[in-house]
Structure 1
Amino acid sequence: MSDTRRKLIDGAIEAIRTVGISGVSARSIAAAAGVNQALVFYHFGSVHELLGAACMTHTKASVELFQPALDKVTTLKQLLAVGRDMHTQQSQTFNVTILAQLLAGSRTDAGLAETTRAALQLWIDAIEQVLIRVLATSPAKDLVDTKGLASAVSAAFIGLELYEGIDPAGAVHALDTLDQLAVLVEVVDDLGPIARRAFRAKVKRVADR
């Protein structure tokens, strides 16, 4: 990636942070990047194309930053611990706020929606691989749609980050409750063979109602 393209992508992220998606323009991006605004169109064709590139680049960097920690996860409790660390770091850098702004802008821009969806999928894919590994020996293995659960976890993470902005105590309480659920899953995982079969049968009966 050329130095100018890198500056423009960084400038786009900074513009979203400072003026929000509704206030982003070639001028605000160029000012944040310290370049002539004509370069936005020369390198990307349009502001929306630049925002899409910034979204993918920014999200990919965030996923790569936490991938080593995700690779070490072997339990849901550990996954939540990584999630708490991500929550702290992403809040400090406003990374989730940026993604939320892009999601908001995607409601009226099909092109940006496609790119933002692809960026969010990077998180979903990373979390899905963790869930597949964590649930591999769990009695719940055949009862959980890991792809759907990964999507739910990713969406919940974004929601919690935004929720914290209006109710910090409520967000902490929500994370603590997720920890309790992780403990419950560990208890189920420690069941003996007979109890595991009974658990699976009971859950299946309830799910089939």
Structure 2
Amino acid sequence: MTTTRARLLDATLRVVADQGIAKASARSIATEAEVNQALVFYHFGSVDELLAAACLHGAEQRVAAHRTALEGVRDIPGLVAVAHAVHATERAEGTVALLGQLLAGASSHPALADATRQGLDLWIVEVERVLRRLIAPTVLADLVDVPGLARAIGSGFVGLELYEGVDGEGAAAAFGALEQLAAVLAAAEDLGPLERTAVRRRVRRAAAR
């Protein structure tokens, strides 16, 4: 990646987060990047393509920043703890404001909608990898649709990120409920073989209804 291209990508993310997607023009982005406006079109062809590229660029950066923490998760309570830490970090970094702008602009920018989905998918892939590792040795093995659960967690996390902006206490309560649920799941791992078999049987029966 050339220095100019990287500066344009980073500048785009700052403009969208600080000024809103409606202000993300070739002029405003070039000004933020301190480069000639023509370079936006030289490197990306259009502002929409630059927005899409910046969205993926930002997602790749943020996922990479938390990958080591995710790889270190050893149980469900640990996953919730990392999620809480990611939430605090991303809000402080301004990523939550950026995500809100990207989601708002997706309806009128088709290329941005696809890039936003791809960016969220990067997170979901990481979460799915952790879930497969955590669930494999538990009573839930082969009982849970792991890809579906990863998407549910990813979409729920996005909702919590945005929801906190209008109801901080409600978002804190939601995280508290997740911590309680994680504790319940962790306690289930202390069951003996007979109890574990009984739980698996009941879950299978309930899922078949």
The reply to whether TM is greater than 0.5 is yes
User: What is the count of residue pairs matched by the alignment?
Assistant: 209
CA distance in 1, matches of 2:104, 2:135: 33
Q: Secondary structure at 1:143's aligned position in 2?
A: coil
**How far does residue 53 in structure 1 lie from its aligned partner after superposition?**
1.0
Q: Any residues of structure 2 matched to 1:52-71 within 5 Å, and which?
A: 52-71=52-71
Aligned to 1:173: 173
Aligned to 1:45: 45
**How far does residue 22 in structure 1 lie from its aligned partner after superposition?**
2.4
Aligned to 1:141: 141
Gaps of 5+ in 1: none
State the Cα deviation string for residues 139-174 of structure 1 (Å, max 9, x = none). 112111111111111111111111111111111110
CA distance in 1, matches of 2:97, 2:156: 14
State the Cα deviation string for residues 60-93 of structure 1 (Å, max 9, x = none). 1111111111111110100111111101110001
CA distance in 2, matches of 1:113, 1:17: 16
Percent of pairs with identical residues? 46
CA distance in 1, matches of 2:164, 2:112: 26
Gaps of 5+ in 2: none
Aligned to 2:2: 2
**How far does residue 116 in structure 1 lie from its aligned partner after superposition?**
1.5
Aligned to 1:156: 156
CA distance in 1, matches of 2:18, 2:88: 20
What is the TM-score normalised by the length of structure 1? 0.96
Aligned to 2:86: 86
**How far does residue 109 in structure 1 lie from its aligned partner after superposition?**
2.5
Aligned to 1:190: 190
Instruction: Work out whether residues 103 and 113 of structure 1, in 8 Å CA contact, stay in contact via their aligned partners in 2.
Output: yes
**How far does residue 99 in structure 1 lie from its aligned partner after superposition?**
2.3
